[in-house]
Structure 1
Amino acid sequence: MSKLPDFEGLAIFAKVVELRSFAAAAAELTLSKATVSKAVTRLEERLGARLFNRTSRRLALTDAGRSLADRATQLLADGEAAENEALAQSAAPRGLVRLAVPMTYGTNVVAPLLPEFLAAYPDVAIDLNLSDATIDLIGEGYDAAIRIASLPDSSLIARRLCAMPRYLVASSAYLERWGRPTHPMHLARHRCLAYAYQLTPGLWQFSNAAGEQASVRPAGPLRVNNGEALLPMLLAGLGIADLPDFIVGKALAANQLEAVMTDWWQAPSGVYLVTPPGGPRPARVTALIEFLATKLSKKP
């Protein structure tokens, strides 16, 4: 005997018992009468007992058939209920969505959007992980993540929402004291503030419109795993840093910081929605993904 019961045979047997007819069971299950008959015969051979006494005009359960009928009927009902529940969940957004988002972007940009989503989908809950570390979506069971980077190739499904400009920034006080760099090589004599989760940690790689490239290993007094933590140092005139618009945009607009070396840039950065590969997503995940994609693709 194989390890798994013959669930298909039991379900077909239960349907024959319910309708008291092989032909009627075949019609309801959209199977051929021969397929239904073979399934019952296979079950009888597996159990070593006849389940029906069959004549051309009459179908009656044997003692073995009566003993099995109630459990097979319950098994069929449980299977139909489980399938219907799964279909209902996939049709209507309901349940928990696990979402990973970088800390500052999540706090300042994503979190303010969530009240609108949760009001529109009251049966959906969100487990929001705020961390600049790259989360293993598959290994840690996340449904989706937002990543801000020059996204490397991976097995994940990535959807680009918008560009995310980056700027090399410093305060005017810092630039007056240490000078204004015009070439990446000039950064060797600057106090560079580093972000731990860059695509190439410990290495700033620049290029320009002429196709020139230059690499710098930044050295300075502070290295952090959250870019926003560099702002106090920058505003105090104690360093220079390469950071995205969602962290330094307001300080630039308020003339608290200046963008320098604007004709050189690091790898273009963007905002991406990433999801694990696989089959159809639950409706709750699709609803959140489409909501965020609509909202975030409008962000500068």
Structure 2
Amino acid sequence: MGQLEDMALLVRIVDAGGIGKAAEQLNMAKSAVSKRLKELENRLGTQLLSRTTRKSALTEAGALYYQRAISIIDEVAELNAQTHAVKTSLSGTLKITMPLSFGLLHLTPLIDEFSQLHPKLNLQIDFIDRHIDLLAGGYELAIRIAELKDSSLQARRLTPINHVLCASPDYITKHGGIETVAELTQCDFLQYGNLGQNVNAQGKVVLTDSEGTSHTVQLHTVMKANNGDFLKAMAIKGKGVCYLPSFITYQAIQAGQLVPLMSNYQLPTMYAYAVYPQTRFLSERCRSLIDFIAKHFGEHPYWDEY
């Protein structure tokens, strides 16, 4: 192995959080990773990682080497990408994570089309709703629907994510219509468990009226789940009112199984983002997939046409 590969190995160990995790990501034996690290330290004549049975940490020399190694690896990657800028089929491995419902409903056909365009590309996809450490997990890219707070990440906005309050026609008829805040407060609420800024742990929803005044509405939660497709199904069965992204409910609304509520009020908009570590050069395969997704969805995604 050359020195560039050894640099990449050290970076992987640090980013993954240890030799064991790095070995798993690289599909290597832990002993082989330890041996290569020791050979690098012997060649440099200094210890890069202080290792105990429980954890490892960069030494002062190791921290300097790690930072320069990142810079050098990224420069080489950028040089290779620029040299190989001809639009040929992409190759290599792209490990990404995405939300379960959004991924299955709307990203699956795009991933299929993208992989057909680039048959040499190896895609590794984890469907995970929670936010995870990209570097520790060895991910190059994440698709996230959220308010971004992690300053160590770079992000590109892909498409708006609008939410909708809706219920089945039978449920609405049973309640004599649901178009005012007072009527909404009397409804049974089917609450999404992965809570964002617009619905909190007490089952409150923020609505904005035509004059720009915000109303925080307390709802009576009768069912709570961490999967939007399940809550949509319960709403269709008349169990109550759901507050979900339109990318989950749009087909049920088009089919007349669910009816949007509170049409005179505006609900907050979130966004889907492509997220990646800012300490890394963005590979051509990663950049191409991001461009492909953003171009397909745009600022007016098809799931809002109902």
Q: After alignment, is 228-237 or 261-270 more displaced? A: 261-270
Give the match for residue 171 of structure 1.
Answer: 168
> Are residues 1:162 and 2:159 paired?
yes
**Paired AA for residue 154 in structure 1:** D
Give the match for residue 100 of structure 1.
Answer: 97
> Are residues 1:249 and 2:245 paired?
no
Q: C-alpha separation between the residues in 2 aligned to 1:196 and 1:99?
A: 24
Give the match for residue 72 of structure 2.
Answer: none
Q: C-alpha separation between the residues in 1 aligned to 2:222 and 2:148?
A: 29
Contact 1:90 1:283 in 2 (8 A): no
Contact 1:159 1:273 in 2 (8 A): yes
* Structure 1 unaligned residues grouped into runs of 5+: 5-82
What is the aligned counterpart of 2:190 among 164, 187, 193?
A: 193
Contact 2:232 2:242 in 1 (8 A): no
What is the TM-score when the length of structure 1 is the normalising length? 0.65
Contact 1:168 1:262 in 2 (8 A): no
* Structure 2 unaligned residues grouped into runs of 5+: 4-74, 85-89
Contact 1:158 1:272 in 2 (8 A): yes
Give the match for residue 205 of structure 2.
Answer: 204
Give the match for residue 14 of structure 2.
Answer: none
Q: Between Structure 1 and Structure 2, whose CA radius of gyration is higher?
A: 1
**Paired AA for residue 196 in structure 2:** L
Q: C-alpha separation between the residues in 2 aligned to 1:223 and 1:90?
A: 50
Contact 2:158 2:293 in 1 (8 A): no
How far has the Cα of 1:170 moved from its partner? 0.3
Give the match for residue 299 of structure 1.
Answer: 301
Question: Structure 1's 90 and 143: CA in aligned 2 closer, same or farther, altered over 3 A?
Answer: farther
Q: Write out aligned runs for 1:50-65 (5 A).
A: none
Contact 1:146 1:274 in 2 (8 A): yes
What is the TM-score when the length of structure 2 is the normalising length? 0.64
**Paired AA for residue 238 in structure 1:** K
**Paired AA for residue 226 in structure 2:** N
Give the match for residue 236 of structure 2.
Answer: 235
Query: In the TM superposition, what whole-angstrom CA distance separates every residue of 1:87-110 from its partner, at most 9, and x where no partner exists?
Result: 657855432212221111111111
How far has the Cα of 1:85 moved from its partner? 9.2
The alignment-based identity, stated in percent, is 28
Paired positions, count:
219
Give the match for residue 140 of structure 1.
Answer: 137
